[in-house]
Amino acid sequence: MDANGGVAICFFFAFCTRYVESQSYFRMGTNTNAAEAMQFLREYDREASGMCYRVTMSQWKFVTNITEYNRRRMVEELAISSKFERLSWRKAAAFDSTRLSDHQSRRQLAKIVQSSRAALSDEKFTELQQVISEMKEIYNTAKICPYGQKPYDPHIPRAPFQGSDFQDLPIQGYQLANQPYQHYQAYTESQEYPNYCDMQLDPEITRILAHSRIESELLYVWRSFRDKTGPKLKNRFMRYVQLANQAAVATGYRDAGDQMRSTYEDQTFRTSVEEIYNQVSPLYKQLFTYVRRRLVQRYGETSVRADGPIPSHLLGNMWAQNWKSIMDLVMPFPQAPNVDVTSEMLRQGFTPLRMFQMAEDFYTSMGMKPAPPEFWRSSMLARPPQRSVQCTASAWDFCNRIDYRIKQCTEVTMQDLISTHHEMAHIQYYLQYADQPQLFRDGANPAFHEAVANAATLSVYNLPHLQRIGLYQNKTHDPYEVSMNFLMTMALEKVAYLPFAFMVDQWRWSVFEEGVQNMNHRWWQMKLRYQGVIPPTPRSEADFDPGSKYHVISDQEYIKYFLATVLEFQIYEQLCLVSGHLGQLFECDIYRSREAGRLLSEIMQPGSSKSASDIIRTMTRGKTNRISPEALVKYFRPLELWLRVQNRDEPLIGWSSNYHDVALFSQQSDGTSNKAYSLRLLLILTICYNILK
């Protein structure tokens, strides 16, 4: 069996899945007066910018100085802005934008109307916001007891708010698994953990999943976190689905998934996305197969079947979405180093300020814009003493064309050096599209901001660049071995992530489209089909495992992360091409390339005034107008070749599932109605397996 096996599975499943592609468009009013429309948009631009400034400022004040007063102010501003949104929506929806000749006005009106839920009645609109904020609250306050310890005192107060409301991007940060963890002691015991039931997802639970190698401890935290979130969230989520669908239908869409997809302006969006998944799937299956064998070596065949799916608690992450934490188990050449320049940065006396200056220099060296004085005056570049702040790194546009800031509790580490470059790329994007109207000061589609920021950091986090900026000296190690270790680190973060980032919205769209029955079963069905992972313990419809993912319950679409991960390599490749890079893609550094700077500016300047396909066409000099994974596959080609050699004796590239795998998530809480369903699934899987044989 070789890699073609993987292709056959995908082909088969692609055949099983049929979509009704989005043809719908929001409903329109009857007003065709162009002068009135232009007048409205001018006023809107001024008012929306002002509103955006006030909301952003109140949010900034809160997250950089967490007090009850600042929280109240923020909630007040959000309420005012939500009223403004509803009012503007009514005005905008009164126009028949198809009859306006001016393309840009048409586009602006569409942006106000298409993704809003303002078509709901006041009561329902408020209820929907309320339900979402309750779900976030439940998620952010979920706590579990330490493994193997008795609950002690759940009432001891802890550090305030650590929630993730203002998350930048869950996959960002190229943290290297630089410490070879060999915990044969339970991780909880090896640390000075508090002896009370106060462990949160971030940081305690996340750390345990990343570093513990004790299966029972991993299982315990995996299950406990789901017990503390899912059941409380399920009913609220069902109400959310109902209301979001009503809003979508009232706006003219088929369902809420249809409405979410409309921002991509692609009539065959679902097919396009599925095609991308199919193209990256052979690479994923090579990585998967190699990682599985290493897990069999570590945990034994009773835990991980040699040709089966992987139990999802063993991959170093709560959602099995990013596997970089198990680098110690899968490192291709343990005798060669894993690149980490942290100690060199410390030796050279780096400070957070110097790291940001370096990041600014990266962009100005390409002829791009420097950060304005306001940036250096008002940003929060390190954790301030004596006040409580929310530390997730993020880049801020205050919507007044003056004020741009970054908030990051920077520490002198390689990971934070990469992160400074990532956040500075967002600032660069803001600066480049500053002259656009407010509605166009955004990425070309929801994937662009992250894609651009990560494309830039691909150039920072590679050996040639680290050598150029004096942080990495060529040691005596075999360059091939160092490269394979490097590519493996990247693959554990980027390639392993793709099927997860793909399946989250496949599931969400199916719930919006087909309803809320068997939600948990369908979640695991898709996890198995696309990621090849199974739950480590039986699940039923009393559980609600999608609720363990913040973006699901906080109403944030997820497919953008899938597309961003693919697009970042596509953008990177184009930047490398114009900079005249020769050689391996993964070694390309665009530092000091004016040509790359020019192209990057061209991608950024239009904001969202042009469609993503227009911008991709410009970027590729007319070669294509679609997001394509070719560059990603090319980037990882050397690793893929190495993986193929490692996997040559494997019985199966990819995974086959059996009755027991499927039975893990086919139990009904009431013990009945789901049997026929799982039998059907089993039949499908058996057919697939036979085709493969």
Judged by the rule CB under 5 A, the positions of this chain that interact with Zn ion are 168-169, 453
Residue 168 contact among ligand NAG, Zn ion, none, beta carbon within 5 to 8 Å by kind: Zn ion
State the nearest-atom distance from the C-beta of 112 to Zn ion, in Å: 25
Residue 551 annotated as catalytic: yes
Q: Does 242 bind ligand NAG (CB under 6 A)?
A: no
Structure tokens, 193 = 């953990």
Q: Does 77 bind ligand NAG (CB under 6 A)?
A: no
State the nearest-atom distance from the C-beta of 67 to ligand NAG, in Å: 4
Taking CB under 6 A as the binding criterion, the range among 223-231, 474-482, 511-519, 632-640 that sits at the site for ligand NAG is 474-482
Which residue in 204, 360, 423, 568 is the catalytic one? 423
Contact pattern from residue 383 through residue 422 relative to ligand NAG, giving x for each residue in contact according to CB under 6 A and a dash for the rest: ----x-----------------------------------
Given the complex with ligand NAG, which of 206 and 613 has the nearer CB atom?
A: 613
Q: Does 160 bind ligand NAG (CB under 6 A)?
A: no
DSSP one-letter string for 560-600:
HHHHHHHHHHHHHHHHHHHTT--S-GGG---TT-HHHHHHH
User: Which residue matches tokens 């913040």?
Assistant: 550
Give the rounded distance of the alpha carbon of 612 from its chain centre: 19
Given the complex with Zn ion, which of 440 and 448 has the nearer CB atom?
A: 448
541 phi and psi, to 5 degrees? -75, -5
- Between strands 310-311 and 404-407, the pairing is unpaired
Give the rounded distance of the alpha carbon of 471 from its chain centre: 29
At 54, the amino acid letter reads: R
581 annotated as belonging to a binding site for a ligand: no
DSSP one-letter string for 33-65:
-HHHHHHHHHHHHHHHHHHHHHHHHHHHHHHTS
Picking from 309, 684, 679, 323, the residue whose alpha carbon sits closest to that of residue 527 is 309
Residue 65 contact among ligand NAG, Zn ion, none, beta carbon within 5 to 8 Å by kind: ligand NAG
Secondary structure class of 232 (helix, strand, coil): helix
Given the complex with ligand NAG, which of 335 and 474 has the nearer CB atom?
A: 474
Residue 613 contact among ligand NAG, Zn ion, none, beta carbon within 5 to 8 Å by kind: ligand NAG
Q: Does 266 bind ligand NAG (CB under 6 A)?
A: yes
- CA-CA distance, 579 to 576, in Å (whole number)? 5
Residue 357 contact among ligand NAG, Zn ion, none, beta carbon within 5 to 8 Å by kind: none
Residue 479 contact among ligand NAG, Zn ion, none, beta carbon within 5 to 8 Å by kind: ligand NAG
State the nearest-atom distance from the C-beta of 490 to ligand NAG, in Å: 17
Given the complex with ligand NAG, which of 66 and 250 has the nearer CB atom?
A: 66
Q: Could you check whether the bond before residue 282 is cis, i.e. omega within 30 degrees of 0?
A: no
Structural contact between residues 405 and 380, judged by C-beta atoms closer than 8 angstroms: yes
Q: Does 620 bind ligand NAG (CB under 6 A)?
A: no
- CA-CA distance, 178 to 545, in Å (whole number)? 31
481 annotated as belonging to a binding site for a ligand: no
Angle between helices 269-299 and 559-578 (to 10 degrees): 90
DSSP code of residue 314: G
450 annotated as belonging to a binding site for a ligand: yes
Taking CB under 6 A as the binding criterion, the range among 339-347, 375-383, 472-480, 683-691 that sits at the site for ligand NAG is 472-480
Q: Does 584 bind ligand NAG (CB under 6 A)?
A: no
Given the complex with ligand NAG, which of 495 and 585 has the nearer CB atom?
A: 585
User: Which residue matches tokens 């998530």?
Assistant: 665
Structural contact between residues 599 and 432, judged by C-beta atoms closer than 8 angstroms: no
- CA-CA distance, 82 to 662, in Å (whole number)? 44
Q: Does 690 bind ligand NAG (CB under 6 A)?
A: no
Q: To 5 degrees, how large is the angle CA 147–CA 148–CA 153?
A: 80
**Distance between first and last Cα of the chain:** 8
Beta bridge partners of 310: 533
Structural contact between residues 357 and 424, judged by C-beta atoms closer than 8 angstroms: no
Write out the binding residues for ligand NAG, residues 98-157 only, by CB under 6 A.
none
Instruction: Centre a 10 Å sphere on the Cβ of residue 540 and count the other Cβ atoms it contains.
Output: 16
User: Which residue matches tokens 């916001």?
Assistant: 129
Among 39, 67, 130, 216, binds ligand NAG (CB under 6 A): 67
State the nearest-atom distance from the C-beta of 422 to Zn ion, in Å: 6
- CA-CA distance, 136 to 555, in Å (whole number)? 10
Q: Does 480 bind ligand NAG (CB under 6 A)?
A: no
Taking CB under 6 A as the binding criterion, the range among 67-75, 316-324, 498-506, 568-576 that sits at the site for ligand NAG is 67-75
Residue 36 annotated as catalytic: no
Picking from 51, 40, 146, the residue whose alpha carbon sits closest to that of residue 102 is 40
Structure tokens, 427 = 């600032």
Given the complex with Zn ion, which of 444 and 534 has the nearer CB atom?
A: 444
Residue 474 contact among ligand NAG, Zn ion, none, beta carbon within 5 to 8 Å by kind: ligand NAG
State the nearest-atom distance from the C-beta of 487 to ligand NAG, in Å: 15
State the nearest-atom distance from the C-beta of 628 to ligand NAG, in Å: 12
State the nearest-atom distance from the C-beta of 436 to ligand NAG, in Å: 20
Among 191, 195, 625, 668, binds ligand NAG (CB under 6 A): 625
Which residue in 449, 551, 581, 640 is the catalytic one? 551
Positive or negative, the CA dihedral 88, 90, 95, 100 is: positive
Among 25, 31, 32, 65, binds ligand NAG (CB under 6 A): 65
Among 302, 474, 672, 690, binds ligand NAG (CB under 6 A): 474
State the nearest-atom distance from the C-beta of 503 to ligand NAG, in Å: 24
User: Which residue matches tokens 């299982």?
Assistant: 219
- Between strands 310-311 and 533-534, the pairing is parallel
- CA-CA distance, 262 to 551, in Å (whole number)? 19
Write out the binding residues for ligand NAG, residues 412-471 only, by CB under 6 A.
463
426 annotated as belonging to a binding site for a ligand: yes
How many CA atoms, within 13 angstroms, populate the side-chain half-sphere of residue 170? 24
Instruction: Report the binding-site residues.
Output: 264, 422, 426, 450
Annotated binding-site ranges for Zn(2+):
422, 426, 450
Q: Which residues sit at the interface with ligand NAG, rule CB under 6 A? A: 65, 67, 69-70, 266, 387, 463, 474, 476, 479, 613, 625
- Cite the active site residues: 423, 551
Binding residues for chloride: 264
